[in-house]
Amino acid sequence: MTLKLPVFADDILSLFAGRSTQTVDIPVIQPADPFLDMAGEDLRRRIFLTESETGQSLCLRPEFTIPVCLRHIELASGTPQRYAYLGQVFRQRRDGGNEFFQAGIEDLGNADIAAADAAAIRDAGDTLSMLLPDAELQTTLGDQAVFEAVVAALGLPDGWQTRLIRAFGDQDQLDALLAGLSQPPGDVPGLDNEAAALLNAGDETGLASLIDRRMDATGYLSNASRTPAEIADRLIQKARFSSAHLDAKALDVLKTFLALNAPLADAPDALAAFARIAGLDIGAALDGFGERVAALDGTGFDTGSARYRAAFGRPLDYYTGLVFEISAQGAVLAGGGRFDRLLTLLGAKTAIPAVGFSLWLDRIALVRARSEGDAAQ
């Protein structure tokens, strides 16, 4: 069944064209590895995979950000560039339908971070306001960089910081990690006395040798997916995680931060007060946050109508700073954020700042239909 392009698609592209963008066409068949490596677990498990005749792993286009960035790198386009797109994406979706249309803008190379962030939020909001003039739009913002700064300031080991940062935006996973950090240090379960002694001594070489001998004796070595050295390293990492914990005061600081929920206009002061009371040095992250709010206010956006939630994130691993969503009638219609590390990971020779957003056209069509039905009654 071929999806029908919504009647308002041309209106979206016309508005995007007036925002200094160039429209790009992105092939439906994409190399799968960039998505599998960089998009995050939530998207990885919903991708439709296939394989080329030569054995290359391919997939149906599950989103536009990564392929737009790959195209930019391949063509060696200068920056800054603003790319617009509109087309189908293919992935399993919780609310039904494995094929749907998305449109959006990717802003690559603008060194004025605050202005670029503000433009992304403004452009998404302006597009939705044009398409849904009678709808009440709700904008929610978070900031991965502020969360990372708080976690770093608490002095956790790098491994725990990485786990918490990856869980940002997944409340259940974050709650489970916080529960683990609140527990007293413990041993790695399932080890006998000899292995536990080597582990507690930090003797990774001796532990790998012990695992090697036992795997060889049981005949398991030839069928193992991990080498003895890899298993030993994993056990050492587990031991480090199990020995790390936050004292009650530090855990309360992190929970207090994650509970912050304020109108965006008040959020810079709320974050500054939190940092001062908690005694955390996160000034650089707060400066960037405040500059974004000021830039957004300068566009005429009503920052008092949007909300900042410290625990709000989006389930894609490549986000590095701003994350946001715009909703109406309980449906998320637009979402986006900043992904400053992505282009370097994809092969760009120099760091390229980047921010963008996507619109879900089928959800927008549904809200339009409901609004038209209400008006007819």
pLDDT per position as a tens digit, 141-164: 999 999 999 999 988 777 778 888
Does residue 258 register a pLDDT over 60?
Answer: yes
pTM of the model: 0.82
CB 166 within 8 A of CB 314: no
What pLDDT was estimated at residue 155?
A: 84
Is residue 175 located within the same domain as residue 258?
yes
Q: Collapsing DSSP states into helix, strand and coil, what is residue 310?
A: coil
Asked if 107 and 26 sit in the same domain, the reply is yes
Mean pLDDT across the chain: 88
Cβ contact 359:104 at 8 Å: yes
One domain for residues 321 and 334: no
Quote the number of domains for the chain.
3
pLDDT bin (cut points 50, 70, 90) of residue 246 is low
| Helix/strand/coil for 246 | coil
Beta strands in the chain, from DSSP E residues, in sequence order: 22-23, 29-31, 49-51, 57-60, 81-90, 99-108, 138-143, 261-263, 307-309, 322-328, 331-338, 354-360
Considering the domain architecture, whether residues 302 and 156 belong to the same structural domain is answered as yes
Least confident piece of the model among 80-84, 129-133, 173-177: 173-177
Structural tokens at position 124: 């998404």
Examine the domain organization and report whether 251 and 153 are in the same domain: yes
Q: What is the pLDDT of residues 29-71, one digit of tens each?
A: 999 999 988 887 778 888 999 999 998 999 999 999 999 999 9
Residues 117 and 52 in one domain: yes
Asked if 5 and 129 sit in the same domain, the reply is yes
The more confidently predicted of residues 243 and 315 is 315
Mean pLDDT across the stretch 353-371? 95
Calculate mean pLDDT across residues 90-109.
Answer: 90
CATH number at residue 308: 3.30.930.10
Is the pLDDT at 268 greater than 70? The verdict is yes
Domain that holds residue 300: 137-184+247-328
Give the closest residue to 142 by CA, choosing from 117, 122, 159, 115: 117
pLDDT at residue 333, rounded to an integer: 98
Beta strands (DSSP E) in 126-215 are 138-143
Q: Out of 121-130, 202-211, 315-324, 358-367, which region has the weakest mean confidence (pLDDT)?
A: 202-211
Lowest mean pLDDT among 55-59, 170-174, 242-246: 242-246
Q: Residue 374, Cβ neighbours under 10 Å: how many?
A: 9
CB atoms within 10 A of CB 283: 11
337 closest CA partner among 53, 150, 142, 55: 142
Pairing of strands 354-360, 307-309: unpaired
Same domain, 9 and 69: yes
Residue found by looking up tokens 């001998």 in the block: 213
Cα radius of gyration (the chain): 24
Same domain as 210, residue 348: no
- Residues 167 and 96 occupy one common structural domain: no
For 96-110, what is the mean pLDDT? 93
Does residue 287 have a pLDDT over 80? yes
DSSP annotation of 185 reads P
Q: Residue 375: what pLDDT?
A: 61
Q: Is the pLDDT of residue 188 over 70?
A: no
pLDDT of residue 359: 98
pLDDT given for residue 238 in this prediction: 62
Are 48 and 7 found together in one domain?
Answer: yes
Does residue 273 sit in the same domain as residue 166? Answer: yes
Structure tokens at 227: 């080498």
